[in-house]
Every structure is written in structure tokens, then in C-alpha cells.
Amino acid sequence: PAAVIVAIDGPSGTGKSSTSKSVAAQLGLSYLDTGAQYRAITWWMVSNGIDVTDPSAIAAAAGKPEIVSGTDPSAPTITVDGTDVAGPIRTQEVTSKVSAVSAVPEVRTRITELQRSIAKSAQRGIVVEGRDIGTTVLPDADLKIFLTASPEARAARRSGELKGVDVAATREALIKRDAADSGRKTSPLAKADDAVEVDTTELTLKQVIECVVTLIEEKR
């Protein structure tokens, strides 16, 4: 079959990453975690002493780091100037600063170009997960999915991932980050008009994966 391009968007804690990786692995497609790219550029800004509360400083530095994403769904990788940053991009510091960095238009332009070139070179097709994939990055995707879940379900899933972290605090941080991502001017988190919305609140991960695989197979 021809290369299939799948966009999976939604707020944090909806199971986007687990779903996207699993679906890509099952169907032999590439996988791209675009949140990891925004986290990587944020990690670089923090590590290089850039003031992340200053959009003009972020804009001026946006072109400097070289970010490379490995697209094998069974072992995705991310490097910045050759350094593996898969661990450091998941810290609370990066998580709390990524929305400010990703809101800067120069950052988005840079990362969007990278995402388009990766999607274009995926021979068998690709599952790309993020916030603005269906609306901005790949508006011609063959299938667009928008995952949602109640704030309670999302916070519970995130707290489960981050061992020992308080659910109430996680819920607050998550709501704040989604509000920032949805409220920014440049390509905010949004459902594309032609996206299929899947509410995962009452579904197991296995059920969400089956649902997405079925939707992709219908398109092929």
C-alpha cells in the first residue's frame, strides 16, 4: 500500500504517545513524537542559559541547536547536537518551561519544517503525534485523530507514569500547560475540522489502539 500519514493530536495524558507508538509498530509505520522535539529545544535553551521568559531571546536562539529524531516506534530516539536527551527532556523543569518556548513563532517554524521533512521521507508512512499536526504541520494527512479524556483521567494517567507524584498537583500542572498550549497565537492545540475525535476516558489503552488501527485500515 501507499505511504499513509496519520496525525494524532490532543492534550497531555490522553494516551497519545502510547497509542501512536503501538499503532505504528503494529502497522510497520514510522513514528514521530513532536512533543519530544519541543522538549529538546527547551532543554537546549535551559542548558545554554537562555532566558525562557524572554520570547526575543528564544527567537534569536531558535535556529542554533540541531535536533535529530529517530523514528523507529520500538526505539524512538532524540538528540540535540549529537547528545542523547531522551532522559533530560522529561524533567519537571523542562515540562514547566516547554509551553513558553513552543509558543514562540520562530521555534514553531523551525520545528515544523523538520517535522514535514521527516514525514515526507517516511517510505511506508508515519504516525505523527502532537498538538497541531492535523491543523498546521500536515493538513493533508490521510487520517487525523483527536484524542480527549476528562481532566481526572488525564491527571491519574500522568501520576501513574510519574511514580510518587501527587495527583492534585499533576492535575493543576497539566491544566495549566493545556491552557497555555490552547491559548497561544501560533498554531494552538486544536482539533482539525476533519479529525475524528476519540474520547478515551472510559477506554483501555488496548481499546484506543484497536480503534485507531481500524480507522487507518479503513483508509488504506
DSSP of 14-47, one letter per residue? SSHHHHHHHHHHHHT-EEEEHHHHHHHHHHHHHH
- Identity of the residue, 112 or 125, whose beta carbon is nearer to ligand C5P in the bound complex: 112
Per CB under 6 A, does 130 bind ligand C5P? yes
Q: How far is the CB of 95 from ligand C5P (least distance, A)?
A: 7
- In angstroms, the CA 159 to CA 168 distance is 9
Per CB under 6 A, does 132 bind ligand C5P? yes
Sole window of 23-31, 47-55, 96-104, 155-163 interacting with ligand C5P (rule: CB under 6 A):
96-104
Sole window of 49-57, 62-70, 98-106, 161-169 interacting with ligand C5P (rule: CB under 6 A):
98-106
Compute φ and ψ for 10, nearest 5 degrees. Answer: 150, 170
Residue numbers 169-188 binding ligand C5P by CB under 6 A = 177, 181
Per CB under 6 A, does 69 bind ligand C5P? no
159 annotated to a ligand binding site: no
76 annotated to a ligand binding site: no
Q: How far is the CB of 35 from ligand C5P (least distance, A)?
A: 2
Contact status, residue 71 vs residue 78, Cβ threshold 8 Å:
no
Residue showing cell 532543554: 43
Sole window of 20-28, 30-38, 45-53, 157-165 interacting with ligand C5P (rule: CB under 6 A):
30-38
Would the CA dihedral through 105, 107, 110, 114 be positive or negative? Answer: negative
Per CB under 6 A, does 39 bind ligand C5P? yes
- Which amino acids are annotated as binding site, given as ranges? 10-18
In the complex, the residues that contact ligand C5P under the rule CB under 6 A are 12, 34-35, 38-39, 98-99, 102, 130-133, 177, 181
